[in-house]
Structure formats: structure tokens, C-alpha cells
Amino acid sequence: METQQEVWQNMKGNFFLKPITQLVEEAIIREQANGHRLKVCVGSDSHVYGEAISYATAVVFVREGKGAFTFIRKDREIQKISIKERMLNEVNRSVEIAYAICAVLDAYGVEMEVHADINTDPDFKSNAALKDAMGYILGMGYVFKAKPYAFASTNCADMMV
């Protein structure tokens, strides 16, 4: 499953007009040829600006002991929604990308985690979506991580949103 017309970029601001599946496969081939063991983490974040919501989804390649690099997709919607619905929209964006790339990752033996920018502390508003998000991600068969372990969403996507 490919998503709509995709425009991905890296953290340096270089743009890629290729589908994420192709970007992922090319990256895996290159990194494994250089002897790197990889893990991929997918996460999304959003910020509200008036009635506009800006989203960013990050696909982070972690090189075991050798740093990481990221592909980012950004988009924006005009709507007013609850914090829970916004958190679940973030999770849905992450799961959509995880689903699109899982066959490529499986073919090359690369593990994947899906990260949610949701606080595990009930004192935070985002916690309202924790059980639903966890159920959705685990139900899809993916490894689930929430704050403070969800760096793909809380750091990488957050920097670009």
C-alpha cells in the first residue's frame, strides 16, 4: 500500500520524491553493505496553530552503535479536534507508514518499532489516548513505545513539525 503523493525529506532539508518503500529499501541496502545493523522506528508528532494542525512523521534508521538518520514527511490539516483525536491521528499516520514499509523491513531482517508521542503519566492530557493507541499498534503486530522511550515521535518528528 502506497500513500498519497509523498514528499519526504531528511533532517538537512534535502527532499526526496520517491515512495517511502523505495527510500527504505535503498537505505537498508546501503547501510547493510557498510556493515551496519539497523532498527527502524516510526513516529509522528503534531502541533496546533489556531485551527491548523501540522503533522510530521519520522522514519528513523538507528545504526547499532553508529548513530541514526531520518526521513520526514510533513502535512497540515485545517480542523478543530480533541487532544485524544489528534493523538490517534498521529498514531494512525505512524501505523500507515509502518504498514507500507513492513514487507521491505521483513525482507531484509530489520526490526521495527512504532513510537507514540503519548505520555504514560495520567496527569498529562495526551494520556487519554494511551490505551487506544497501544491497542491499535500492538493489534497491528508492531512493537509499541510511548514517552519517554518514543524518540522517533518526541524528538525527531517534533523537531520538524
Residue 3 clears pLDDT 80, i.e. is over it: no
What pLDDT, in 10s, does the model give residues 7-41?
A: 999 999 999 999 999 999 999 999 999 999 999 99
Which domains can be identified in the chain, with CATH numbers? 8-160 (3.30.420)
AA letter at 100: A
What pLDDT, in 10s, does the model give residues 43-75?
A: 999 999 998 999 999 999 999 999 999 999 999
Tell me which residue of 122, 62, 125, 135 sits closest to 92, measured CA to CA. Answer: 135
Tell me the C-alpha distance between 158 and 27, whole Å: 22
Distance of CA 29 to the CA centre of its chain: 20
Are 48 and 86 within 8 A, CB to CB?
A: yes
Question: For residue 5, what pLDDT is reported?
Answer: 63
What pLDDT, in 10s, does the model give residues 91-143?
A: 999 999 999 999 999 999 999 999 999 999 999 999 999 999 999 999 999 99
